[in-house]
Amino acid sequence: MTVEYDKDLSRHNTFGLKVSCACYVEFGSEDELRKIYGAAGEFGFPQPFLHIGSGSNLLFTRDFPGTVFHSAIRFVRPLDSKEKRPGEDDVILVEVGSGVLWDDFCAWCADRGLWGPENLSGIPGEVGSAAVQNIGAYGVEVKDIVKEVRCLDVVTGEIRILPAKECRYGYRDSIFKDTAKGRYVVTSVVFMLSSTPAPRLEYGHVREAVEKVCGPVPVPASQGNSCSPGPDTQSETEWPEALTPGLVRGTVIGIRDSKLPDPSVTGNAGSFFKNPVVPKSSYSIVENYAKGRYGEGYSVPHFDMGSGFIKIPAAWLIEQCGWKGYLEGNVGVYEKQPLVIVNVTGKAVPDEIIALENKIVHSVSEKFGITLHPEVEHV
């Protein structure tokens, strides 16, 4: 265990904000973590406690008065087939420590030809926070491949294994962020991988980019529709030889790099807001606005969630309000993806980001009557 007092957190939040915490502790095992909670009084670490990964989805609104914990539990362990349950014969189970960099795990899978996390390649952060936040990109969410999450229950001091179902995953949401916030500290995650191709290419231009390299790719049965039913089973499908998890990973990283700022160059925390899910009546207001502005033939980008709800890209709403590429002092709205707030000069202070956030929320609400909610966690 390493302990540092009055620690500068600039390198522990991808916004690059110069904030500090009273104490910073890195633990390398479940035993160390148990000791921290079992003997909090003995160690005397200042309260409150906060667990972070790479700080890639965090906005420190001020210096943190308590102790920031970080997992250095780093291992990738394929599980013995005996640990598989019936019906999971095709699934390769791999347990990964919470402190492993998420993209290192994606690369590990791609290097071994294993399908699962390839669409989530390039996302900053670590495995533990990926499971807390239910990271998602290019049509996949991490919940799709999580089998179970191992954590310390800080109330009972026991290690618990939560099956994915008990994590109650939703869009960028889980019990770890909601009803059980502060109760569990993730130590490892078991993922379900597959050596049989399981490409998910239907988001945006992913299919087009992949097919440029490997030629036409059949639509898997589970992703087919009435117009394109796809083959009956994945094993019957004739996949192009060049279609590998590595190809999809490389394609996704290429798309990300062309749209999202690199936090090691320009401070940011990815999408600052969630994409709002609104009732059809609210969507109609947006549609009327767009038709008035761009003509009857214009179609607002949206996704029908069923049950009368529509998801609208926050990026589109923010762009309509004129924020794309906006600069003010040390902060701005990224010119290629307005869902991302950036620390343009590297010298931003939390209040500048919060002021810009508030202005954006206010203007979208004024124009469309829709309230944007931050995706980035404010601490």
Q: Which residues bind ligand EPU (CB under 6 A)?
A: 137-138, 203-204, 259-260, 270-271, 274-275, 301, 313, 315-316, 319, 324, 337-339, 375
Cβ closest to ligand EPU, residue 246 vs residue 374: 374
242 in Cβ contact with 215 (< 8 Å): yes
Strands 76-78 and 64-71, how do they pair? unpaired
> Which is closer to ligand EPU, CB of 244 or CB of 271?
271
Rounded to whole angstroms, the Cα distance separating 251 from 308 reads: 34
Per the residue annotation, which of 172, 174, 188, 200 is the catalytic one? 172
- Smallest gap, in angstroms, from Cβ of residue 324 to ligand EPU? 6
3-class SS of residue 277: strand
Q: Tokens at residue 180, please?
A: 């059980």
Residue 206 CB, nearest distance to ligand EPU (Å)? 9
Cβ-in-10-Å burial (0-12, 13-18, 19+) of 86 comes to exposed
Beta carbon of residue 364, minimum distance to ligand EPU (angstroms, whole number): 13
HEC assignment per residue over 100-159: CEHHHHHHHHHHCCCECCHHHCCCCCEHHHHHHHCCEECCEEHHHCEEEEEEEECCCCCE
Active site residue 56: no
CA distances from 281 to 112, 278, 284, 308, 372 (A): 48, 8, 5, 9, 17
The residue among 140 and 198 lying less far from ligand EPU, judged by its C-beta, is 140
Contacts of 182 (CB under 8 A, 6+ apart): 49, 154
Task: In angstroms, give the least distance from the CB of 338 to ligand EPU.
Answer: 5
Per the document, the length of the chain is: 379
Active site residue 375: yes
Place of tokens 């992913």: 206
Would you call 81 a catalytic residue per the annotation? Answer: no
Give least dist CB 377 to ligand EPU, A.
12
CB 68 to ligand EPU: min, Å: 21
Nearest CB to ligand EPU, comparing residues 207 and 274: 274
Which residue out of 54, 71, 129, 271 is catalytically annotated? Answer: 271
Which one, 95 or 357, has the nearer CB to ligand EPU? 357
The CB-of-319 to ligand EPU minimum distance in angstroms stands at 4
DSSP per-residue codes, 356-367: HHHHHHHHHHHH
- Omega prior to 117 cis, within 30 of 0: no
Closer to ligand EPU by Cβ: residue 13 or 337: 337
Q: Which residue of the chain is nearest ligand EPU when measured via CB?
A: 270
Tokens of 97: 């420590």
User: Which of 3, 9, 39 shows the shortest CA–CA distance to 23?
Assistant: 3
Q: How far is the CB of 372 from ligand EPU (least distance, A)?
A: 10
Please identify, using beta-carbon distances, which residue of 139 and 246 lies nearer to ligand EPU.
Answer: 139
* Furthest-apart CA atoms within the chain: distance in Å: 68
| Residue with Cβ nearer ligand EPU (27 or 102) | 102
Alpha helix positions (H), the chain: 30-38, 40-43, 102-111, 127-133, 206-214, 245-259, 280-294, 314-320, 350-368
As a whole number of Å, the CA-based R_g of the chain is 22
Give catalytic residues, as residue numbers. 172, 271, 375
